[in-house]
Amino acid sequence: MCLGSNRWGLRVALSPIRGPAGAPLATAIAGAIRSPANEIARIQEIERAGPIYGPRRAPDADKPPTPATPASATQLAAQDAAARQDGLGPLIADLRQALGGKPLPPAARAAAAQVMMQLAPMGPEVEARDVMKALSNSGLLLEAKIAAEPQASPIGVDLKAALLVLRQALTQGLPRDSVRTPGKPTAQRPPPPYRGGPTTPQRPAASSLSHDAEIPAVLRQLADETDAAIARTELLQIASLPSPHDLSESGEVTRWVFEAPVATQQGAAMVQFEIRREGRGTGRDREEGAIWRTRFALDIPPVGPVEAHLTLAQGHLGVALWAQSAEGAERLRAKAESLNASLAAASLPADVAVYHGTPAAPSPTAGKLVDQVL
């Protein structure tokens, strides 16, 4: 299963099924990530293995060992990941506290440092190459990068690879019968992403690690949070898969849904993006008829939750910004003229509009994720 080709010529494979098999060591993950493209199944086996520190749901005896179709495999993967997913912010907050507190095992400390390196600083100037780097490093394209460059290791430059290594490093010292830590209530987690769904920002999180917790308890909590972050990355990959509705009269729709951690003074905030390319254009310039749509959402004090919708068509850019707080809306309006001038200087005529509130939510459709917890 793959996400299809994009403008950089990458194809994204998705390993949707997890099982209760024992997980290999972190060194095995590193070796598999460096494996040739025809051995990508080894990466899928690592992802299927899951954490070794607690029992997972046993497969039903009357259920076939593998889904009958790619669509059913995707549905099962989404159901499993949605039950475990959580944002990356709590994990980063706890990693920061753990790295500054009691000594972690060397392998876990090194793997945690690799995850922390994925944070991008929140500076005043964000360029297109920064967004492209965030997309490339988000974990969305991990399997594509392995297929395209089988000899190059994505460890250190890909968030999903870093999380996979971290999960295995954390679980090495835990007994097999170790019990999972209780997950947060669904209402306290960011809603799971899905194709065509709203973009949801995640504000900086505070650490929940107890200062007097022993090392096994710290490793267990970090391992659970890492598994939840990997599950959310899988949901973002599934949300980026094409659907039959993505074929329209204007041509094929390609979309990328991903999240990027940014470092702020209050901690790590998560920015969620959706980038869509509609149509392929005609004639010599295949981009001429294409329409690019970008949505992103972030929540950083003191501005608060902000969502942006950008549409680029026929060389003209439309920008709509929504701020939930009145103060945030006033701050954005004060910068709107400067933004217009900067876009004009880049030979990109634009219309910038700022609103107080939230954009209209997409119309719900059947087949989305449903919270079945009572």
pLDDT value of residue 150? 82
| Residues belonging to the chain | 374
Q: How many Cα atoms occupy the beta-carbon half-sphere of 21 within 13 Å?
A: 12
Residue bearing tokens 């749901």: 57
Q: Kindly list the distances between the CA atom of residue 164 and the CA atoms of 22, 33, 57, 114, 139, in Å, as whole numbers in the listed order.
A: 14, 10, 20, 11, 10
Q: Kindly list the distances between the CA atom of residue 320 and the CA atoms of 146, 225, 303, 343, in Å, as whole numbers in the listed order.
A: 37, 34, 16, 14
pLDDT value of residue 285? 54
In angstroms, the CA 233 to CA 82 distance is 10
Rg (the chain; Cα; Å) = 21
pLDDT value of residue 288? 65
Q: Is 223 helix (H, G, I), strand (E, B) or coil?
A: helix
261 close to 236: Cβ distance less than 8 angstroms: no
pLDDT value of residue 329? 95
Local confidence pLDDT in tens for the 374 residues of the chain: 333 333 333 333 333 223 223 333 333 333 333 333 333 444 444 444 443 233 334 444 455 556 667 777 888 888 899 999 999 999 999 999 999 887 899 999 999 999 999 998 877 777 888 889 999 999 999 988 888 888 888 888 899 999 999 999 999 878 777 778 887 888 899 999 998 899 999 999 999 998 888 899 999 999 999 999 999 999 999 999 887 666 554 566 789 999 999 998 888 999 999 999 887 655 555 556 788 999 999 998 888 999 999 999 888 899 999 999 999 999 999 999 998 898 888 888 899 999 999 998 766 555 555 554 44
In angstroms, the CA 76 to CA 52 distance is 21
Q: Is 326 helix (H, G, I), strand (E, B) or coil?
A: helix
Task: Give the chain's largest Cα–Cα span.
Answer: 67
Neighbour tally for 310: CB within 10 Å: 17
pLDDT value of residue 109? 94
pLDDT value of residue 173? 75
